[in-house]
A = this chain, B = another copy of it.
Amino acid sequence: MIKVLIAEDQAMIRGALAALLAIEDDIEVVAQVDRGDGVVEAAVKANPDVALLDIEMPGQDGITAAAELRKRLPSCRVLILTVFGRPGYLRRAVDAGISGFLLKDAPPDQLAAAIRRTARGERVVDSQLALAALSEGSSPLTPRERDVLAMSTRGASVEEIARSLRLTNGTVRNHLSIAIQKLNARNRTEAARIAEEKGWL
């Protein structure tokens, strides 16, 4: 019997996934969590073989949760299940020591299959996505450029960003300008969009 933990913020989806897994005779859902920062605690209690984690969750994102989980409970393998096929996500997830990366676009029967393979110690990654991650490469942005760009996504002005990061007006504009060039964008808005799409935010 494979013991599974499910972490997913949308209750309906969480329940539906549990129902999907309940069909399988060799899989048992032993814990359900609705936020990223509750994953480790629940896992320590329930001691699952596989943790099925969403990426975008309140409290803590699934990738960070995965990294912590690997440290605290190395016996538990991690399978990421997410909507977003962003190359940057895959890369970070692999760095965090995950065993598998599955998209919510994939056929439903692949979920049980992926869990079984993960439990056996195999690695499960969508080949399309893996290729994309390799071809995209990792983020060209320096940490500071990333910070500045991230703040501009919500429509913050240069001054607001500068104040918030304790920088000068000019420095912020320089960082933004460089980020815009690196991403082949026409302005900060487009640059932010591109970075977000690739998972570099």
Binds B, one of A62-70, A101-109, A136-144, A169-177: A101-109
Question: CA A187 – CA B10 in complex, angstroms?
Answer: 32
Q: Is A155 an interface residue (CB 8 A)?
A: yes
Q: Is A166 an interface residue (CB 8 A)?
A: no
Shortest distance from the beta carbon of A47 to any chain B beta carbon, whole Å: 24
Contacts of A167 in B (CB 8 A): none
Within the oligomer, what is the number of copies of this chain?
A: 2
Q: Is A2 an interface residue (CB 8 A)?
A: no
Q: Is A162 an interface residue (CB 8 A)?
A: no
Q: How large is the interface on A (under 10, 10 to 19, 20 to 34, 35 or more residues)?
A: 35 or more
The answer to whether A190 and B108 touch across the interface, beta carbons within 8 angstroms, is no
Q: Is A186 an interface residue (CB 8 A)?
A: yes
Q: Is A125 an interface residue (CB 8 A)?
A: no
Contacts of A185 in B (CB 8 A): 155
Binds B, one of A16-24, A38-46, A90-98, A116-124: A16-24
Subset of 15 A-B contacts with CB under 8 Å: A10-B105, A11-B104, A12-B107, A12-B111, A15-B20, A15-B109, A16-B19, A16-B20, A18-B108, A19-B22, A152-B189, A154-B193, A155-B186, A155-B189, A155-B191
